[in-house]
Structure 1
Amino acid sequence: MTFLNRIEPALVSDDPFVQHFAVSILQDSHLATPKTLFKALEAYDRKLPTIFPELILPHIGFLPVDEEGVQELISRLKTDNENKEWFVNLLDNADTSVLLQYESDLAPYLGRKFYKELNSFSEMDEEGLFLKLAGIANNLDNTYDPTAIQMGKRVANELIGRGIIEDWEPENAMGELLSYSFMPSIGLFQIYMAGELRTESTVPDLIKLLVRDDSDEALEEISSALIKIGTDEVVREVEKIAIDENIFIYSIDILAKIKSKEAEQALMRLWQKTDDISIQTTIADALCQHLSVEAIPLVEHQLEEGYDMIMADLEMSFYASLVLNKIDHPGLHHIKMSLIEKEDQFRQTFPPAENENKVGRNDPCPCGSGKKYKKCCL
């Protein structure tokens, strides 16, 4: 049984803590398939109890969408106007060719300007596509724009899809990026392509960039590429720098999202190598994301000794891991009651009108930066 097969059914769990945990595991892991979208929509349709400020829909914007998914989203756009923005967000994850196929249905929602850009790709030769990508990058050097980044990635995917980007090119690009003292915006797209192509030869340079760079945009893209590549070499190289206090949030998250025994064992070793409570908490939470049975005593120890509640809700992660592993732990009921009590206290402190905007650690930051809350205003 694959890890996805283990975690996907939890999206429709009637236990809100388990459902929330499943979403957090899948986010940024690149494990989900287009079928995962339908499982999440099932949870939305069933109006399952949730600890999200709203139902699950606003928190699944990372799920991949294929043609069947686009058809489903078109149907929902026509019948569920209240949640239109969330369905439109999901369409960002559909391939350009599929969006073009359904232009007449989607143009009213995605906009004529957007479709004009998509249609222009087919008219561009190799040089034109590179110039288009360079133009987007140049604009990003002046103004951060998440929409422009998405368009740039579509151009990058067009280059990859036409076979224009050969395996050696991402490796050369990483070497050039190391010669800069900062990450230029074009570098974000070069790193993205290295991840999309799973170019393992770029791993050493990606690790150097991870240690060097300090912009969240660069660190997010580097982390994503390393997770996509996801080999044992990635695990070994990340383990070497994982407890650096400047990047541990990113490096440990990489090991959390790579679902391999090697990554799990690396996390076990790292927990023993640090006494920093924030780093230990992050590692313990990552082990819960692995559904690690071996790590249960370690996580129990962390809970008993105290943990950094800003870094992770370790109690909830531990509870959900026990449930998903079907472990009849003697403290399971007590932990659930504690979680319910904490959630009730929160809702009493922040009534529903205010609570609507409660932000999860992995949700987009409400400041509008485009970064995750845990890596921005948190």
Structure 2
Amino acid sequence: MTFLEKIKPHLISDDILIQEVVLYALHDYPLVPEEWTNELLKEAFKNKDKQSSIFIYIENQTFNEEAVKILIENIPLMDPSKRHLAVGLVRHIEPELALTYKEQLQEYISKSTWSLYELLLHGTEEEVFSEYGQILNDLERAGIEHHNYLIKAKKLAACLVKKGWVTEDEIDLVLKEELQKKWISFNGIMAVYMIGLLKAERYIPLLVSLLDHDDDSLLEELSVTLTSFQSDVVVKEVAPYLRKDNSVIYAASIVENIKSDFAVQVLREAYRAAKQLEDKDILIEALCHQLSEEALPEINEHMKLDSSSGLVDIEQAVYSYYSILGIDHQELALWRQVVLERELDFRQEGHDLSIAPSRNENKVGRNDPCPCGSGKKYKKCCGK
């Protein structure tokens, strides 16, 4: 069975712990079917306890016309305190589709963004490039509060690629200039993004070599672009970086989201070679998200250890791994109880203890977006 075939029966799970791990596993995976996103949206609006998790973790997925209609119909009915979570998804709708439903989406999108969408659809090459340059300047000045600018920059970059206004020769020139600098600018980071859109695999070795850089914005984009290739060539190139303390987090994220037998093999080998407990935790989480029974020896071995680094919710990952694969384990109930007891510490005061816990919005999970506003996962940002 493929990864998607294994996870499909659990896409909507009554077990909140499994539901969260399913969302984690799909968050950075580029081949999630559009109808799954629609199904998750419907579940979020139907089940308020799941709203926060679902809205946070589907932002990377494609929103088709049905998804837009679901948002338009349900956002006005939401609790005002939670509405911002769904409104945030509106920013990820493709400009052409957003303009089709401009009247219904008007209040959720700023005037400046509507102007940007008109430019993307009807602007000349010179006009789009001019706006792109301005957004790059804004990004450089924005500091950690750059996430909204980055969304706009990506829409502009996607327009440039789609209309053939950016070529690989031009990307070569940008990268040549950027690699001479100590720090890669957002112009270079957006070039990495456009390589992913162009599916230009010849850049794979160069991109992987940048995993040694200490720049989270660059590393996040490298991760997304390299994952988008879904290639064992990427796995082979990234494998050495799984054994380096300074790059294991992003390297593991890339390999865990390339669903292949070779990726599982490489993760298993990296786990057996790892010396630091936190590296082992990261690699076991990555193996759990592969949903391969080939990883059972390493996962069983890991759960015999006396301690955890705290970098990963390891009991939840392993509990969900066994549950999704339908494999029994004598400590399955114990792992679930450990996670539930941990979650209870974050329960809202006065809730009935017989109810399965929901994640408190004040708690930051290791895989949640970082509260600093960077747009990156907490474990890849302030939680490192």
Q: Identify which range, 94-103 or 35-44, moves more after superposition.
A: 35-44
Cα distance in 1, alignment partners of residues 214 and 53 from structure 2: 34
In structure 1, the partner of 2:101 is: 102
After superposition, residues 79-94 of structure 1 pair within 5 angstroms as 79-80=77-78, 82=80, 83-94=82-93
C-alpha contact (below 8 Å) 1:183/1:218 kept by paired residues: yes
Following superposition, the deviation at residue 307 of structure 1 comes to: 4.5
Cα distance in 2, alignment partners of residues 307 and 197 from structure 1: 44
Cα distance in 2, alignment partners of residues 181 and 289 from structure 1: 35
In structure 2, the partner of 1:165 is: 166
In structure 2, the partner of 1:225 is: 225
After superposition, residues 328-339 of structure 1 pair within 5 angstroms as 328-339=328-339
The one-letter amino acid paired with 1:207 is V
Following superposition, the deviation at residue 2 of structure 1 comes to: 3.7
Q: Measured at CA, do residues 61 and 281 of structure 1 come closer, stay the same or move farther in structure 2, by a change above 3 Å?
A: same
Number of residue-to-residue matches in the alignment = 374
After superposition, residues 206-221 of structure 1 pair within 5 angstroms as 206-211=207-212, 213-221=213-221
Cα distance in 2, alignment partners of residues 335 and 48 from structure 1: 25
The structure whose RCO (Cα within 8 Å, separation 6+) is larger is 2
After superposition, residues 167-186 of structure 1 pair within 5 angstroms as 167-186=168-187
Residue 61 (structure 1) aligned with residue 78 (structure 2) = no
Cα distance in 1, alignment partners of residues 374 and 55 from structure 2: 21
In structure 2, the partner of 1:377 is: 382
Q: Identify which range, 25-34 or 160-169, moves more after superposition.
A: 160-169
Gap runs ≥5 in structure 1: none
In structure 1, the partner of 2:41 is: 41
Q: C-alpha offsets along residues 210-249 of structure 1, whole Å, 9 cap, x if unaligned?
A: 22x2111111011111111121110000002222111111
Q: Measured at CA, do residues 288 and 223 of structure 1 come closer, stay the same or move farther in structure 2, by a change above 3 Å?
A: same
Q: C-alpha offsets along residues 58-98 of structure 1, whole Å, 9 cap, x if unaligned?
A: 44333320122112211113333534322221122221111
Residue from 353, 359, 362 that aligns with 2:364:
359
C-alpha contact (below 8 Å) 1:281/1:307 kept by paired residues: no
C-alpha contact (below 8 Å) 1:10/1:18 kept by paired residues: yes
The one-letter amino acid paired with 1:63 is Q
C-alpha contact (below 8 Å) 1:192/1:225 kept by paired residues: yes
Cα distance in 2, alignment partners of residues 194 and 187 from structure 1: 11
In structure 2, the partner of 1:324 is: 324
The one-letter amino acid paired with 1:371 is K
Q: Measured at CA, do residues 298 and 351 of structure 1 come closer, stay the same or move farther in structure 2, by a change above 3 Å?
A: farther
Give 3-state SS (helix, strand or coil) of 2:11's partner: helix
The one-letter amino acid paired with 2:135 is I
Following superposition, the deviation at residue 24 of structure 1 comes to: 0.6
The one-letter amino acid paired with 2:27 is Q
Give 3-state SS (helix, strand or coil) of 1:304's partner: coil
Residue 116 (structure 1) aligned with residue 121 (structure 2) = no
Q: Measured at CA, do residues 55 and 215 of structure 1 come closer, stay the same or move farther in structure 2, by a change above 3 Å?
A: closer
C-alpha contact (below 8 Å) 1:76/1:87 kept by paired residues: no
Q: Identify which range, 38-47 or 153-162, moves more after superposition.
A: 38-47
C-alpha contact (below 8 Å) 2:139/2:186 kept by paired residues: yes
In structure 2, the partner of 1:347 is: 347
Following superposition, the deviation at residue 148 of structure 1 comes to: 1.1
C-alpha contact (below 8 Å) 2:45/2:74 kept by paired residues: no
In structure 2, the partner of 1:239 is: 239
Residue 368 (structure 1) aligned with residue 367 (structure 2) = no
The one-letter amino acid paired with 1:143 is A
Q: Measured at CA, do residues 76 and 280 of structure 1 come closer, stay the same or move farther in structure 2, by a change above 3 Å?
A: same
Cα distance in 2, alignment partners of residues 303 and 57 from structure 1: 31
The one-letter amino acid paired with 2:190 is F
The one-letter amino acid paired with 1:316 is Q
Residue from 73, 80, 93 that aligns with 1:75:
73
C-alpha contact (below 8 Å) 1:175/1:205 kept by paired residues: no
Residue 153 (structure 1) aligned with residue 133 (structure 2) = no
Cα distance in 1, alignment partners of residues 122 and 289 from structure 2: 45
In structure 2, the partner of 1:196 is: 197
Q: Identify which range, 97-106 or 36-45, moves more after superposition.
A: 36-45
C-alpha contact (below 8 Å) 2:63/2:93 kept by paired residues: yes
Cα distance in 1, alignment partners of residues 215 and 364 from structure 2: 22
Residue 250 (structure 1) aligned with residue 255 (structure 2) = no
Cα distance in 1, alignment partners of residues 147 and 77 from structure 2: 28
Q: Measured at CA, do residues 305 and 81 of structure 1 come closer, stay the same or move farther in structure 2, by a change above 3 Å?
A: closer
C-alpha contact (below 8 Å) 2:241/2:251 kept by paired residues: yes
Following superposition, the deviation at residue 344 of structure 1 comes to: 2.8
Following superposition, the deviation at residue 351 of structure 1 comes to: 7.5
Q: Measured at CA, do residues 282 and 180 of structure 1 come closer, stay the same or move farther in structure 2, by a change above 3 Å?
A: same
Cα distance in 2, alignment partners of residues 55 and 373 from structure 1: 14
Cα distance in 2, alignment partners of residues 328 and 320 from structure 1: 11
Identical residues among aligned pairs (%): 31
The one-letter amino acid paired with 1:185 is F
Q: Measured at CA, do residues 70 and 286 of structure 1 come closer, stay the same or move farther in structure 2, by a change above 3 Å?
A: same
Give 3-state SS (helix, strand or coil) of 2:293's partner: coil
In structure 2, the partner of 1:29 is: 29
Q: Measured at CA, do residues 290 and 55 of structure 1 come closer, stay the same or move farther in structure 2, by a change above 3 Å?
A: closer
C-alpha contact (below 8 Å) 2:207/2:222 kept by paired residues: yes
